[in-house]
């Protein structure tokens, strides 16, 4: 059981959204691509890069896989159930292939990287397996399949950032966009498969990031979320340092993006507790358009468990970073990820997670039962010895606590005015708009002719549900 609360940037259990794009050149568009994405925001952002590479090679995207000549599934390996979901969905695609000979079925992303050519043995009807750093090779690989072969490219790279590719914005509301600022991860959290599926950490040229964000602003976008597994370790070094060309760290990059335009909101994800600096916090404070919201995954509230997880901080360090956030940016919202039932976690250690939650009173949290991943340090070193039932009960406890805290955080906003960027109609009714506050709370209020999606409005909050603020524009 996975539990999620709130927004897309951190929700690595998103699943099955098909993406749509228009071909660059109508005449070339003689083949149709269907692409479905699973996992974290980085994967969704990668699908936009894949769509862009294939658009340049004559592919038009379709939202109906029955019409497609090529079906890609962009996959996630983070927990076993994420992989299971992908395998189930793959059945639908391989059935489609039986009905339509010549249909190309490809597996992209983290599962492709983890399983490599083995995927072709396990799933006989899959034609292409491509890892996250090999998407430029897709047109060749498809050609290889057209020629009757199977094709695999799972080479990881130390350099690839796709910096020069302008992602095609797919299924977009034209207001929020993800912008990848780095790839890979050099941390070795013992539970985590990402360093194996995404390779070494590398940062993208800041100029290309600013150019992409400025372009988005010019086309009407009003919010960018800068993405990386550990944005605080963003580091760019120019080939030769001069007065103009200096190294750029995450605080510098945030400032560069914030300066594009005060009307462009800047969000970022994910921050790592070991790397988030006071300099970053002061930069967040300095600019009104950098959102006062930090996703700072703790994973556990107990120092022994954190050490086994190889998170490289302990409970005290984490709480000191939380205090620093509150000291420098008092209004800042904080969210977390938590894992229950990690190897050898005792009940007393689980209580430490609960007491940490009481201390921080997170605005949101994503909470998971530990799922052993083959090849990780934890799988090699430690027994996955907490029974599922215990993991599940601990999860239920932290979920119940988080629901209380989320509700308290929202209740504290009742009676205040929040600046909201309108994203579109609310899910429930076309009589209401919805959008998020600076602190990332969802806000719902009545539609009016005076404003539209993409506008900022001040909303007086008169009540809330457990997950949403409700109010009216003032």
- DSSP-derived pairing of the beta strands 364-369 and 2-3: antiparallel
- Near ligand F3S by CB under 6 A: residue from 54, 71, 168, 194: 194
Residue with the two structure tokens 């790839």: 183
- What is the nearest approach in angstroms of ligand SAH to the Cβ of residue 373? 5
For residues 205 and 251, the answer to whether their CB atoms sit within 8 Å is no
Q: Alpha-carbon dihedral of residues 367, 16, 224, 264, nearest 10 degrees?
A: -110
Q: Which does 195 bind (CB under 5 to 8 A by kind): ligand SAH, ligand SF4, ligand F3S, none?
A: ligand SF4
Residues 294 and 273: their CA atoms lie apart, in Å, by 10
Stretch that binds ligand F3S, among 70-78, 333-341, 406-414, 431-439 (CB under 6 A): 70-78
State whether residue 191 is helix, strand or coil.
Answer: coil
In 6-116, DSSP assigns E strands to 14-18, 31-39, 59-61, 70-75, 104-109
194 binds ligand SF4 (CB under 6 A): yes
- Near ligand F3S by CB under 6 A: residue from 52, 77, 300, 371: 77
- What is the nearest approach in angstroms of ligand SF4 to the Cβ of residue 191? 7
195 binds ligand SF4 (CB under 6 A): yes
In 219-273, DSSP assigns E strands to 223-227, 235-236, 248-249, 265-269
For residues 440 and 423, the answer to whether their CB atoms sit within 8 Å is no
In degrees, to the nearest 5, what angle opens at C-alpha 10 toward C-alphas 8 and 12?
90
x/- site string to ligand SAH, residues 146 to 185, per CB under 6 A?
Answer: ----------------------------------------
272-291 binders of ligand SF4 (CB under 6 A): 272
- What is the nearest approach in angstroms of ligand SF4 to the Cβ of residue 310? 8
For residues 371 and 391, the answer to whether their CB atoms sit within 8 Å is no
Residues 294 and 291: their CA atoms lie apart, in Å, by 8
State whether residue 255 is helix, strand or coil.
Answer: helix
Stretch that binds ligand SF4, among 36-44, 185-193, 216-224, 322-330 (CB under 6 A): 185-193
x/- site string to ligand SAH, residues 281 to 320, per CB under 6 A?
Answer: ----------------x-x---------------------
In degrees, to the nearest 5, what angle opens at C-alpha 96 toward C-alphas 95 and 102?
115
x/- site string to ligand F3S, residues 7 to 26, per CB under 6 A?
Answer: -----x--------------
272 binds ligand SAH (CB under 6 A): yes
Long-range (24+ apart) CB contacts under 8 A made by 378-382 are: 378/190, 378/191, 378/308, 378/309, 378/342, 378/343, 381/190, 382/190, 382/308, 382/343, 382/344
368 binds ligand SAH (CB under 6 A): yes
3-state helix, strand, coil in the chain (%, to 5): 35, 25, 40
Stretch that binds ligand SF4, among 8-16, 187-195, 359-367, 458-466 (CB under 6 A): 187-195
CB of 300 or CB of 371, closer to ligand F3S: 371
341-360 binders of ligand SAH (CB under 6 A): none
Residue 440, sorted as left (phi over 0), alpha (psi -120 to 50) or beta, turns out to be left
270 binds ligand SAH (CB under 6 A): yes
CB of 61 or CB of 336, closer to ligand SAH: 336
230 binds ligand SF4 (CB under 6 A): yes
- What is the nearest approach in angstroms of ligand SF4 to the Cβ of residue 272? 6
Question: What are the structure tokens assigned to 448, written together?
Answer: 């009016």
12 binds ligand SAH (CB under 6 A): yes
Q: Which residues bind ligand F3S (CB under 6 A)?
A: 12, 39-40, 42-43, 76-78, 109-110, 193-194, 197-198
Q: Which residues bind ligand SAH (CB under 6 A)?
A: 12, 78-79, 191-192, 194, 229-230, 270, 272, 297, 299, 337, 339, 368, 370-371, 373
């Amino acid at each position: 059981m996975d539990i999620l609360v709130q927004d897309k940037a951190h929700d690595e259990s998103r699943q099955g959204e098909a993406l749509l794009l228009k071909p660059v050149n109508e005449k070339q568009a003689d083949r149709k691509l269907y692409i479905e994405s699973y996992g974290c925001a980085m994967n969704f952002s990668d699908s936009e890069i894949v769509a862009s590479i294939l658009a340049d090679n004559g592919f038009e995207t379709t939202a109906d896989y029955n019409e497609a000549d090529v079906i890609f599934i962009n996959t996630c390996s983070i927990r076993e159930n994420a992989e299971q979901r992908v395998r189930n969905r793959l059945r639908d695609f391989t059935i489609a292939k039986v009905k339509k000979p010549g249909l190309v079925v490809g597996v992209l992303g983290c599962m492709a990287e983890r399983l490599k050519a083995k995927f072709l043995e396990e799933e006989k009807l899959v034609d292409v397996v491509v890892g996250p750093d090999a998407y430029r090779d897709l047109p060749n690989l498809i050609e290889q399949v057209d020629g009757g072969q199977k094709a695999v490219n799972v080479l990881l790279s130390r350099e690839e950032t796709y910096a020069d590719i302008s992602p095609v914005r797919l299924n977009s509301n034209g207001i929020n966009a993800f912008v990848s600022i780095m790839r890979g991860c050099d941390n070795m959290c013992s539970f985590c498969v990402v360093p194996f599926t995404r390779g070494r950490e590398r940062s993208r040229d800041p100029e290309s990031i600013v150019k992409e964000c400025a372009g988005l602003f010019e086309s009407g976008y009003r919010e960018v979320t800068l993405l990386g597994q550990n944005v605080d370790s963003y580091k760019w070094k120019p080939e030769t340092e001069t007065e103009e060309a200096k190294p750029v760290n995450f605080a510098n990059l945030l400032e560069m993006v914030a300066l594009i335009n005060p009307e462009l909101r800047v969000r970022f994800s994910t921050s790592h507790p070991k790397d988030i600096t006071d300099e970053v916090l002061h930069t967040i404070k300095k600019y009104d358009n950098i959102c006062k919201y930090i996703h700072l995954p703790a994973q556990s509230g107990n120092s022994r468990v954190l050490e086994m997880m190889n998170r490289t901080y302990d409970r005290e360090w984490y709480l000191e970073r939380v205090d620093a956030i509150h000291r420098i940016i008092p209004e800042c919202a904080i969210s977390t990820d938590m894992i229950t039932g990690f190897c050898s976690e005792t009940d007393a250690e689980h209580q430490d997670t609960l007491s940490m939650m009481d201390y921080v009173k997170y605005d949101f949290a994503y909470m998971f039962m530990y799922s052993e991943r083959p090849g990780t340090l934890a799988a090699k070193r430690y027994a996955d010895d907490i029974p599922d039932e215990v993991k599940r009960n601990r999860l239920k406890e932290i979920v119940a606590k988080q629901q209380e805290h989320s509700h308290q955080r929202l209740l504290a906003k009742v009676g205040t005015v929040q600046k909201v960027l309108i994203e579109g109609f609310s899910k429930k009714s076309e009589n209401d708009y919805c959008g998020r506050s600076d602190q990332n709370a969802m806000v719902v209020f009545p539609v009016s002719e005076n404003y539209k999606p993409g506008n900022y409005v001040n909303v007086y909050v008169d009540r809330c549900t457990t997950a949403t603020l409700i109010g009216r524009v003032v």
